[in-house]
Structure 1
Amino acid sequence: MEPRNPSDAVPAASGPAAVAGLRRAADLGLELAATAMILVAVGVACLQVVMRYVFSAALPWPEEVATWAFTWAVMLGMALATGRGAHIAIDVLPRLLPERAGAVLQFLTASVMATASVVLLVHGMDYVQRAISASPALQMPMKYLFLAVPVGAAFNLFFLFWPDGRRGFLQGAGIVACGVLFYLATRNGAGFLYSEASGPMVLVGVGLVGIMIGVPVAFALMLASFTAFASANPILLVTIAQNMGASLNSFTLLAIPFFIMAAAVMNAGGITPRLVDLAMMMVGHLRGGLAQANVVTNTMLAGVSGSSTADASTIAKLLVPEMARRGYDRPFAAALTAAGSTLANLIPPSLGLIIYAALASVSVGALFVATLVPGLMMAAVLMFVVWLLSRRRGYGGDMPKASGAARLRALLLAIPALILPVIIVGGVRFGVFTATEAGAIAMIYALFCGTFLYRKLTGRNLLEAVRDAVMDTVVIVIIIAAAAPFAWVLAFEQVPQKIAAGLAVLVERPWLLMLAVNVFLLIVGLFMEMIAALVILVPILVPLMVLAGYDPVTFGLVIVMNLVIGALTPPLGVLIFTTARAGGADQVATFRAVLPFLLAMICVLLLVAFVPALTQLPLRWLGP
């Protein structure tokens, strides 16, 4: 029905338009700010490398500027991810519930996010007012660094409140109101429900329950830390914001956005198709040739990316439909792609290993060198399983063998991409640059390749690549930041020492301890995302394994291998969900199809865990 008077329709239309416009403006403003800050961090990291090696005059301030920009980018990006519903969460339970129950659970999880945001806002501002120190290089008051935490929380509450396509003002107001009420009830009522001695049980229980019901992992960890200390002295509550800000003030963690951005730019610049072409030329004619090419592509792309999820999505879109067209079972193709994508965390530059290095105070260069043999072993065993299954099912064998000239041409086109892992590992190994600076160099190198060599990089796809990379960075790093106070509470309550005391008998039998830890980690991988598990478990397990005589570098590979294997198992199975969705395969059938690959990967895992020479010999030959 048309309005009687066109002017009558203006107020009704302009109101919703203005509401949506303000939300879009906030979204765009935060995206621009976060992206600009990440690019500033890249620029000053590269500047430091140039000043050190070209002019022999390292500057005192680039690392500080980079980490401050990174901290603000992550905290503003946290709110941006909230507005877009992009935070990492386990959504198994919400997907199983009927529509009405699912809507109630969605309201509850949003209220939990609001509660965590209130905690960061209130106690973050409290810490900002208490902070009196200054930064070493710039002599800037540290309160301006930690101010990023409450500012990000305030924007978080804005996006939870402000209407979008899913909810209106009333529902948004209800979410924020429930968040405030949950905060006040927990702050004032926790002392009546449990004692301070129960803090560790409350911490772990609240965190796990929150994650299981679908609360984004980062916010479940924040709420768990607050709940554990809710009835304590207010000075302990400021440690939540303090630890989150301090965890981001780390130059090592900057390697994460740098490598993610480098991989995104190289994909936009046409590098991935070149690697696929090379893999097809090399192994496409073999039994199961397209499946073998899938593994080879994952292996080569791992040396560029470092992100299993990014590789899984990219290769699934490229190869799963083509494999299905050539007669491969689609769930098999998706399962193989998921298994192959784990190589991104087992071949340098691995984001999992970088995070472990930051948490365990271990050399990134040593980890990169030590993982060379295990990573290639994992690729080889996946190719062996492909060969066995292809022979049994009759896959492949329908592609002609490429000529030498065609192979050489494909190799020449792919050489720029293949050089990058050599630059990264060699540069870190010989001390030319740190792992973080290597990520910045990789970003600049990716821009050069995409613009001048492959000529596929345009302003539009570069912008999209950078935007996607910033969002990928935020949803990963905010979990690390949120897990920092979680780990601090564990340490404050002496949980690692208590676990070590309980496992003292196993320390005397190192092989039994290693077996028990592997079983434990495989179980953890069923339910917890890798980054969250690393941040929570590394402070607990590394001292215990060192006490038992294990090298922390070898154990770093063991824990990362366990957790990436967990990304292939239900109920979380993030890599399976990613490849099944991108490749159009049935998820349940894909979980079944991945079983042979899982068994083979566990065999390699046990070899790495119980044959230290696989990691120690490369360190002796090439290690820092």
Structure 2
Amino acid sequence: MTTILLILFGVFLVLLVFGMPISFALALASVAALLNLGTYDLTVIVQRMFTSINSFSLMAIPFFMLAGELMEVGGISRRIVNFANAFVGWITGGLAMACVLGSMIFAGVSGSAVATAAAMGSILVPAMEEKKYGKGYSASVVATAGTIGPIIPPSIPMVIYGSITGASIGRLFVGGYIPGILIGLGLMIVAYLIAKKRNYPKTNERISLREIGTCTADALLSLFMPFVIIGGILLGIFTPTEAGAVACVYAFILGAFFYKEIKLKDLYRVMEHGVQITTIVMFLVAVASLFGWILTAEGLPAFIVKSFLNISTNPLVILLLLNVMLLIVGMFMDCTPAIILLMPVLTPLLKSVGIDFVHFGVVMILNLGIGLVTPPVGTCLFVAGKIANISIVEIVKEIFPFLLVMIALLFLITYVPWTVTWLPSVLIG
């Protein structure tokens, strides 16, 4: 086992150092390990990759990604921002708070951290710059608010986690609401305190109820999307996978026929970008599954279980160790490949100490979400930096207060499980 693991991780890390994309690094490391073993026909590579993505649950991924694209082109994102700004724009640092609130609403349809950061950042970073907010501060708000995308349902990482572990995707979706709201409130408080200290301006004076009503009416159909998706799942009208297709249809009808902002010429670009992103994600799922299968075949899960249980059999201690491990993993690996690689290894450990899979799923996704705003990988950092046209270093200088509150809430959610499990028990039973 030792030799194969050295080859797997050695080749993988060397290729990453030389700048190879993570999906190709995983694929080549897996091929190198199988060639060294010599006991498998290499056709197993194609078989394992195909089997890993031949899943009804994973069909939700392209649908939710396409829905996010349609929302941005169709003017839905802008209306969500206007709605959020109407409620919090009159507060000091209101644009930053509107970014967080808008991200929470956008997360209710997109399911993606990067899509949320890109959609909110493209609208709000220029607006914050116009109001003389610091660029690093603006980008750090966009990046951290984007991490709410995978926590508030629907969530692409939750779909992947559920398909691997067998945990109910519906329960995972509902379980993400309270943690997502807590993270959003925590980020808004930090944004407000920093803005107050630096005397950043308000967007506007307190607006009238009539103006709030106008913004709400304009955004009402957009705000209704998450209720359609989650309500349909809870009522058994459609599955989480079918909910992705419903989200696409809803976003298209809204953008094309109600708001009249999606033109026929836009569809090709939207579909092309949606296909590109989906292809990247699904290829990553396939090669990460192959990598994980080799780890499992070589007995790494049993070794991990034994190692952890040698330290402690107390679930609280195990959760602490897992949190520390995931915070480190998240610094070097995006959410999707980390889930695919780690869950086959960690599933036996969770079962042995009786940790609830739905609770741990939300904890894991929140944990890896923090990794999206920590260097060196930090995908949301790069998205926000590109939008604000600043270096990652400038964002990192500003992001620590937001990270601290996210880590504090992570441990609250870890050790107060009802923050995840209560709502599914009430709504699903």
CA distance in 1, matches of 2:131, 2:315: 49
CA distance in 1, matches of 2:36, 2:94: 62
Map 1:423-438; keep pairs closer than 5 Å. Answer: 423-438=228-243
Aligned to 1:30: none
Residue 417 of structure 2 corresponds to residue 612 of structure 1: yes
Q: Is the 8 A contact 2:329 2:338 kept in 1?
A: yes
Map 1:182-193; keep pairs closer than 5 Å. Answer: none
Residue 179 of structure 2 corresponds to residue 392 of structure 1: no
* Equivalent position amino acid for 2:372 in 1: A
Residue 8 of structure 2 corresponds to residue 203 of structure 1: yes
CA apart distance, 1:585: 2.6
* Equivalent position amino acid for 2:232 in 1: G
CA distance in 1, matches of 2:153, 2:225: 10
Q: Is the 8 A contact 1:313 1:579 kept in 2?
A: yes
CA apart distance, 1:561: 0.8
CA distance in 2, matches of 1:435, 1:211: 34
Map 1:89-488; keep pairs closer than 5 Å. Answer: 198-233=3-38, 235-397=40-202, 399-488=204-293
Map 1:510-549; keep pairs closer than 5 Å. Answer: 510-549=315-354
CA apart distance, 1:471: 0.8
Normalising by structure 1, what TM-score?
0.67
CA apart distance, 1:522: 0.5
CA distance in 1, matches of 2:423, 2:302: 33
Q: Is the 8 A contact 1:290 1:396 kept in 2?
A: no
DSSP-derived class of the 2:206 partner = coil
CA distance in 1, matches of 2:2, 2:273: 44
* Equivalent position amino acid for 1:260 in 2: M
Aligned to 1:504: 309
Q: Is the 8 A contact 1:222 1:240 kept in 2?
A: no
CA apart distance, 1:463: 1.8
Shift of the 474–618 alpha-carbon distance from structure 1 to 2, 3 Å rule, reads same
Q: Is the 8 A contact 2:93 2:203 kept in 1?
A: no
CA distance in 2, matches of 1:606, 1:236: 45
Per-residue CA distance 1:569-610 (angstroms, 9 max, x = gap): 111111111111112233211111111100000011101111
CA apart distance, 1:316: 1.5
CA apart distance, 1:422: 1.1
Structure with greater Cα Rg: 1
CA distance in 2, matches of 1:238, 1:449: 46
Residue 276 of structure 2 corresponds to residue 492 of structure 1: no
Q: Is the 8 A contact 1:347 1:368 kept in 2?
A: yes
CA apart distance, 1:243: 0.6
Q: Is the 8 A contact 1:265 1:466 kept in 2?
A: no
Using CA pairs under 8 Å that are at least 6 residues apart, name the structure with larger relative contact order, 1 or 2: 2
Q: Is the 8 A contact 2:128 2:138 kept in 1?
A: yes
Structure 1 runs not aligned, ≥5 long? 1-195
Shift of the 369–353 alpha-carbon distance from structure 1 to 2, 3 Å rule, reads same
CA distance in 1, matches of 2:147, 2:341: 21
Q: Is the 8 A contact 2:95 2:203 kept in 1?
A: no
Aligned identity (percent) is 36
CA apart distance, 1:303: 0.8
CA apart distance, 1:507: 4.6
Normalising by structure 2, what TM-score?
0.97
CA distance in 1, matches of 2:83, 2:340: 37
CA distance in 2, matches of 1:340, 1:517: 24
CA distance in 2, matches of 1:546, 1:427: 31
Map 1:578-593; keep pairs closer than 5 Å. Answer: 578-593=383-398
CA distance in 2, matches of 1:444, 1:297: 22
Query: Which sits farther off after the overlay, 504-513 or 551-560?
Result: 504-513
CA distance in 2, matches of 1:397, 1:271: 24
CA distance in 2, matches of 1:232, 1:510: 36
CA apart distance, 1:234: 5.9
Residue 369 of structure 2 corresponds to residue 564 of structure 1: yes
DSSP-derived class of the 1:427 partner = helix
CA RMSD of aligned residues (A): 1.4
DSSP-derived class of the 1:411 partner = helix
* Equivalent position amino acid for 2:48 in 1: N
* Equivalent position amino acid for 1:300 in 2: I
DSSP-derived class of the 2:37 partner = coil
Structure 2 runs not aligned, ≥5 long? none
Shift of the 382–197 alpha-carbon distance from structure 1 to 2, 3 Å rule, reads closer
* Equivalent position amino acid for 1:493 in 2: E
CA distance in 2, matches of 1:231, 1:522: 32
Query: Which sits farther off after the overlay, 356-365 or 333-342?
Result: 356-365
**Total equivalences in the alignment:** 429
